[in-house]
């Protein structure tokens, strides 16, 4: 399986987290884990912009996670930004 398919699989996993939008902790943990997975997957594939984006989104999720009680709306917004940002990055990446 090439890196793009692996990343699309992660995007689908993140989309499934929409069902759990009322559980901010669960969604943030999913974003942190999935962005870590993406960064590790693409590290050796020469896609630095996707790795950088995944790390930035992970850091944003960690900051929200560290808040005493992150608002569900902030977490939903980050989830959507994560899904769209990663999907766009894959679509705009050169062929592998």
Dump pLDDT digits (tens) for 12-62: 999 999 999 889 999 999 999 999 988 888 877 778 899 999 999 999 999
Domain that holds residue 60: 3-92
Q: Residue 35 has what pLDDT? A: 96
Degrees, nearest 5: CA angle 22-26-28: 100
Domain count, the chain: 1
For residues 33 and 1, the model is more confident at 33
Neighbours of 44 (CB within 10 A): 9
| pLDDT given at position 69 | 83
**Would you state the pLDDT for residue 45?**
77
> Is it the case that residue 68 has pLDDT exceeding 80?
no
| pLDDT score of 90 | 82
Distance between CA atoms of 88 and 73, rounded to whole angstroms? 22
């Amino acid at each position: 399986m090439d890196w793009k398919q692996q990343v699309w699989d992660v995007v689908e996993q993140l989309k499934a987290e929409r069902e759990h939008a009322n559980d901010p902790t669960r969604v943030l943990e999913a974003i942190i884990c999935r962005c870590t997975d993406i960064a590790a997957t693409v590290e050796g594939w020469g896609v630095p912009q996707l790795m950088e984006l995944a790390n930035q989104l992970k850091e944003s999720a960690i900051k929200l996670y560290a808040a005493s009680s992150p608002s569900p709306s902030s977490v939903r917004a980050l989830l959507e930004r994560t899904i769209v940002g990663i999907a766009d990055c894959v679509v705009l990446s050169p062929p592998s």
